[in-house]
């Protein structure tokens, strides 16, 4: 029997029953209480019927989409050994994304979906698609709001915390994407030429100099031209563009790490903020940030590669941060010890999937559009996409003159 007809029959019977009940006792006193009941009952049934019709429409829509997806999955070969396809069960439409939920056939995982990602993107008509496993279900999450293509830099207000927090840009929801160097101190920035990594390095450096005057800066500028504008600022403890100078800086910071660890052990503390609470103002220590531009040139030196890995391992508790800017890392240079110490990875567009996998263990960077479009990976964000701020040299100089005093 047709469901809509059944609902109408139920409505008719309910109203008829109410009328019989109303007039079975012929008195004004008995009729009057029943009239509101009729009104309520009629509205309630009408509402129920309206909800039913909406649900039927939704179910019909999901059924149509299920059939379309099933045909698409068969066509692109997304089936298991029994030729079973994922079955669409629901569609959730949010403000920023749409989620398609599927029953997962036996023997199928998100790896099967990832292998067909380009075909799925083309079918759905969006290029920002993620696959998420949830028990017996697999969700296709589709970003429906595009990132802005250009965001001019404006100096962020310093956060009301002792942590060193840097704003990289904004996500698709318009929210700031932040980097907490006190919590996750070591950073690798990587991407191909023109992807936005050098601009991003300057966005980070400019905020460190302007918003955190207590941070001591060490700069290794192996390209000779990327960091020289910061060389004469009072926060800069050392600047070099030579290999021998780089070796001296790395050795000095290794010694400083060991010195700080000894001081922390004496006072039975584990981090810089706790140490500073127990000592006099003169004995307080400052955070340190080391920026290495074109770090690959140092990593070709076996001894330096080993020292950088050791520094990255022991510096975390001392609030000494390392920021490595690498254009095209190789699996040999980016050895497991160095990679394990990187608590933040900022990835921009790569020229191929292999380079992306070396950087962040996934091919997602090869799909970025470039020009500041990046991804942040750390213990809080398993890959959050953002559009980085754009900051040119003229504006860097303007901010440095406004916030800093040159030597």
* Burial tier of 356 (Cβ tally within 10 Å: 0-12, 13-18, 19+): buried
The model carries a pTM of 0.76
**Contact present, 97 and 143 (Cβ < 8 Å):** yes
Q: What's the pLDDT tens digit per position in 246-300?
A: 999 999 999 999 999 999 999 999 989 899 999 999 999 999 999 999 998 888 8
Q: What ranges do the domains of the chain cover?
A: 3-61, 77-143, 151-403
User: What CATH topology corresponds to 151-403?
Assistant: Rossmann fold (3.40.50)
pLDDT of residue 161: 81
The three-state secondary structure class of 350 is coil
How does pLDDT run along the chain (407 residues), one tens digit per residue?
343 333 333 333 333 444 334 434 333 344 444 444 444 445 555 555 555 555 678 888 999 999 999 999 999 999 999 999 999 999 999 888 999 999 999 999 999 999 999 999 999 999 889 999 999 999 999 988 888 889 999 999 887 888 899 999 999 889 999 999 988 899 999 999 999 999 999 999 999 999 999 999 999 999 988 999 999 999 999 999 999 999 999 999 999 999 999 999 999 999 898 999 999 999 999 999 999 999 988 888 888 989 999 999 888 888 999 999 998 888 777 777 788 888 999 999 999 999 999 999 888 999 898 999 999 999 887 889 999 999 999 999 999 999 886 54
**Ramachandran quadrant class, 94 (left: phi over 0; alpha: psi -120 to 50; beta: rest):** beta
In angstroms, how far is the first alpha carbon of the chain from the final one? 88
For residue 350, which of 373, 384, 379 has the smallest C-alpha distance? 373
Question: C-alpha 121: how far from its chain's center?
Answer: 20
Given 3.30.70, 3.30.1450, 3.60.21, 3.30.410, which CATH number is that of 77-143?
3.30.70
Q: What's the pLDDT tens digit per position in 103-141?
A: 999 999 999 999 999 999 999 999 889 999 999 999 999
**Strand ranges across the sheet with 97-103:** 87-93, 97-103, 137-143, 129-134
Tokens 């030429």 found at: 193
The token pair at 328 is 């095209």
Q: How far apart are CA 280 and CA 393, in angstroms?
A: 39
Q: How far apart are CA 362 and CA 354, in angstroms?
A: 9
For residue 364, which of 142, 130, 194 has the smallest C-alpha distance? 130
pLDDT of residue 51: 53
pLDDT of residue 21: 40
Strands 151-152 and 382-390: parallel
Residue 100 Cα distances to 69, 119, 120, 174, 193, angstroms: 10, 16, 12, 24, 36
**Contact present, 216 and 252 (Cβ < 8 Å):** no
Question: C-alpha 59: how far from its chain's center?
Answer: 33
**Contact present, 342 and 187 (Cβ < 8 Å):** yes
* Burial tier of 261 (Cβ tally within 10 Å: 0-12, 13-18, 19+): middle
């Amino acid at each position: 029997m047709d469901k809509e007809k059944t609902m109408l029959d139920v409505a008719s019977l309910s109203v008829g029953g109410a009328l019989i009940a109303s007039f079975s006792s012929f008195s004004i006193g008995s009729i009057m209480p029943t009239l509101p009941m009729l009104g309520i009952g009629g509205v309630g049934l009408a509402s129920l019927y309206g909800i039913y019709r909406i649900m039927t429409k939704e179910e019909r829509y999901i059924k149509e989409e299920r059939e379309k997806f099933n045909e698409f999955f068969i066509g692109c070969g997304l089936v298991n050994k029994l030729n079973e396809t994922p079955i669409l069960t629901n569609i959730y439409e949010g403000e920023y994304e749409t989620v398609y939920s599927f029953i997962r056939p036996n023997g199928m995982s998100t790896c099967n979906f990832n292998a067909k990602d380009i075909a799925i993107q083309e079918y759905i008509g969006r290029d920002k698609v993620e696959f998420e496993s949830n028990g017996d279900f697999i969700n296709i999450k589709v970003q429906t709001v595009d990132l802005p293509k250009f965001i001019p830099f404006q100096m962020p207000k310093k956060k009301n915390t002792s942590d060193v927090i840097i704003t990289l840009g904004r996500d698709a929801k318009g929210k700031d994407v932040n980097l907490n160097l006190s919590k996750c101190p070591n950073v690798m920035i990587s991407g191909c030429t023109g992807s936005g990594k050098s601009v991003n390095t300057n966005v980070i450096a400019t905020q460190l100099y302007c918003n955190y005057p207590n941070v001591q800066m060490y700069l290794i500028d192996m390209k000779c031209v990327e960091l020289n504008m910061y060389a004469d600022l009072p926060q800069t403890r050392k600047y070099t563009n030579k290999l021998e100078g780089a070796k001296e800086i790395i050795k000095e910071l290794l010694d400083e790490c060991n010195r700080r660890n000894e001081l922390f052990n004496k006072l039975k503390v584990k981090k810089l903020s706790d140490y500073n609470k127990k000592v006099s103002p003169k004995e307080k220590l400052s955070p340190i940030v080391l920026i290495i531009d074109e770090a690959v040139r140092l990593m070709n030196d076996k001894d330096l590669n080993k020292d950088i890995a050791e520094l990255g391992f022991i510096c975390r508790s001392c609030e000494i941060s390392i920021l490595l800017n690498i254009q095209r890392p190789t699996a040999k240079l980016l050895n497991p010890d160095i990679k394990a110490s990187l608590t933040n990875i900022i990835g921009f567009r790569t020229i191929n999937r292999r380079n992306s996998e070396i950087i962040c263990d996934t091919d997602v960077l090869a799909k970025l559009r470039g020009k500041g479009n990046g991804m942040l990976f750390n213990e809080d964000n398993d890959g959050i996409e953002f559009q980085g701020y754009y900051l040119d040299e003229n504006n860097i100089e303007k901010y440095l003159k406004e916030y800093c005093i040159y030597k």
